[in-house]
Every structure is written in C-alpha cells, then in structure tokens.
Amino acid sequence: MNTTASPAEPRDLVIERILGDTGEPAKVHSAARRLAERSSPLIAKLLSEVLPEQIFVEVVEVKLARMADAKAGKSNQAMSVAMTQTSPDGLVMTLDPQALAILVHIMFGGDPSRDVAPIDRDLSSIETSVATLVFQDVARAMNAQGPDGGVGVKLPVPEAMTGTVMKKHVFRDGPSARITLSISTAVSRGLLVLTLPQRVLIEDRRSKAEKEAEAIPTTEWRSRFSDELMRSTVRLEASMPLGRMTLGDLTCLEVGQVIEMAEDTQSNAVIAARGKTLFACEFGKLGQNYTVRIRRPFDATEEIIEGIVAG
C-alpha cells in the first residue's frame, strides 16, 4: 500500500528550514551569541589551568545552521557529541586540525611564539586524547550558569572521534545554532566549532530557586520594593537664588564682600534631593530657628517660562 505524503509536509519542512524549529530565529541567534560571549573567556580560563602557556579564545561567528552540518570539515578533525538532559546530541564540539595542532604543541611544552602547521594526517591516539581533555573543559564552560542557565551537558563527555568513525556518526537532522570560536596563540590560529539544536539552546535551565524567585507576583515584588525604598534616607537641600550677575562682576568678587539679595529671594527657594528639585518653597523663621515652608510641587516648565518672562 502506497502512502501519499500530505502537501503540508514539504511546506512545513521548508518553513522549518527558514524559521528554525522554534519559529523565532532572532531569539535563537541572540541566545547563541550570549552563550558564545559568556563561554569563550571561561573556556580560555579552564584551558589555561591545564596548559603551560596561555592561549586565546575569541568569538568568530554565530549563525543558524542544520545539525547535519555539525561534522562539516576535514576528516582528520576531532569531534565529540555530548548529551544534555533533553537531547542525545545536545552539544557537538569539533576541533579543526590547526586548533588541535596548537593545543598539542602547547600541552607538550612547545614554543608558543612558533607558528604551528596544521595536522595533515590521521590523528594519533595522543591527539584524540588531548582533544577529549579540551572537550571536557569546553563542556564545563558551556554549563556555567548565565541569564539563560547553562546548557546542561552531561559529564564526562564521550571520547573524541575522528576519521571513519566520525563520518559514520548520524545526526537527527534539524535546525541548529553554530558557534565558531578561534583557538590561537600570537602566531597561530585554529577553530573550535560548537553546534547545538535550537530547542536545547533556548530551554530554561535555571535552578528551581531562580524560577520561583522570578515567579513572585509583580504586586508582591513591588510592595516589598516600595517598603524598602520608603525606609531609605536622602539628604534634603534648600537653596534660594541670589540674583543675576555678569561674568565680569563675578570675577571681581572678593573675600568679605556682601552680596545684596532681591526682595523676593526668600519666596523663590527650592527643595532638592539627590540632584532633583522637588518643591518650590520659601524661607522663614520660627523663634530662633530658620524654616522652609513648601508652597507647591516644583514645575520645571513653569520655572522656565517665568525665567524667560523675567528676562
């Protein structure tokens, strides 16, 4: 019996290839960019703990792709496919022959100022072992918590594969995010590529406590915030204008000189807190103490108009 595919199926596949698995390509790309920028310095830090010399890790490119493209590259690159809580291929890591040559060179005491040629043969067991160690640190960096949570890679990651074994590995095709990082010294540069299914990338993997904290009703949060805010203290400052003076007169002022105030100066004072004017007020005196009486809330527009009218 022949089964005819629904016309909607190829159409849905085309739409998925354009918009991705989530239908929100911009959101996926933004999450991948944040992950790349957060994890790259941590990868460099973790690698510096096992390597005798410093290497640099920088973001080269972040783009949307397909999972089938995860093993694109030369047959002698190293690849590891790590599981996450929701996907058997939640993080695919590949090191190109140039990056792996740099890491092996540095790990075994090579001169970091020397240009290292890429590996042009099948990888040895030592080289794949070095790749596995590097992939462990990469996975740890990807698990670091950020605003979106960590990737949730299950450790330890599988041993690195290469050559025929790598080529035979089959991925479930689907939309992915592809993060390309550079592994470099001052004179040599290789690539580390991270490929993640789009749904894995934007899952909410924050801790239960973080989710519960965010789930507090807005009104409750505001009431707590307002209560704390109302108990805080600020410094009030009252000031009154002395009048107008030319710059020439200002330069002639001397110590001990008395400046005459206008008749309405006391009634044109203002109260301010933290640099913001709050009220228009007037100075007065009650017994032996000076006072400030609030007349009305300060209106900046009105004050400007009055200043223009006064000339």
Q: Which two tokens stand for residue 125?
A: 């067991």
Q: What percent of the chain has pLDDT over 90?
A: 41
Q: Tell me, yes or no, whether 3 lies in a domain.
A: no
Q: What percent of the chain has pLDDT over 70?
A: 79
Rg of the chain over all Cα atoms, to the nearest angstrom: 33
pLDDT band (50, 70, 90) for residue 12: very low
- For the cut 50, the answer to whether the pLDDT of residue 271 exceeds it is yes
Residue 220 confidence (pLDDT): 57
243/114 same-domain check: no
191/280 same-domain check: no
pLDDT tens digits, one per residue of 219-267: 555 565 566 666 778 888 888 887 778 888 888 888 888 888 777 777 8
Q: Tell me, yes or no, whether 256 lies in a domain.
A: no
137/67 same-domain check: yes
- For the cut 90, the answer to whether the pLDDT of residue 156 exceeds it is yes
241/210 same-domain check: no
- For the cut 90, the answer to whether the pLDDT of residue 289 exceeds it is no
- For the cut 80, the answer to whether the pLDDT of residue 310 exceeds it is no
CATH number of the domain that residue 176 is part of = 3.40.1550.10
Cα separation, 91 vs 249, whole angstroms: 73
Give me the chain's average pLDDT, please.
82
208/267 same-domain check: no
CATH number of the domain that residue 304 is part of = 2.30.330
Residue 160 confidence (pLDDT): 96
Residue 60 confidence (pLDDT): 96
238/95 same-domain check: no
186/39 same-domain check: yes
Read off the pLDDT of each residue in 28-40 and give the average, rounded to a whole number: 91
pLDDT band (50, 70, 90) for residue 124: very high
266/198 same-domain check: no
pLDDT band (50, 70, 90) for residue 115: very high
Cα separation, 24 vs 116, whole angstroms: 41
Structural domain boundaries enclosing 270: 234-251+261-310
Read off the pLDDT of each residue in 261-280 and give the average, rounded to a whole number: 82
206/273 same-domain check: no
Q: Tell me, yes or no, whether 103 lies in a domain.
A: yes
Q: Which of residues 285 and 137 earns the better pLDDT score?
A: 137
274/166 same-domain check: no
Q: Which two tokens stand for residue 276?
A: 């913001």
pLDDT tens digits, one per residue of 45-81: 999 898 999 999 999 999 999 998 898 889 999 999 9
Rama region for 274: left / alpha / beta (φ>0; ψ in -120 to 50; rest): left
Read off the pLDDT of each residue in 91-116 and give the average, rounded to a whole number: 94
Closest Cα partner for 40 from 62, 18, 8, 66?
62
Q: Tell me, yes or no, whether 219 lies in a domain.
A: no
Domains in the chain: how many in total?
Answer: 2
Please give the model's pTM, rounded to 2 decimal places.
0.61
Q: Which two tokens stand for residue 209?
A: 């406590």
190/242 same-domain check: no
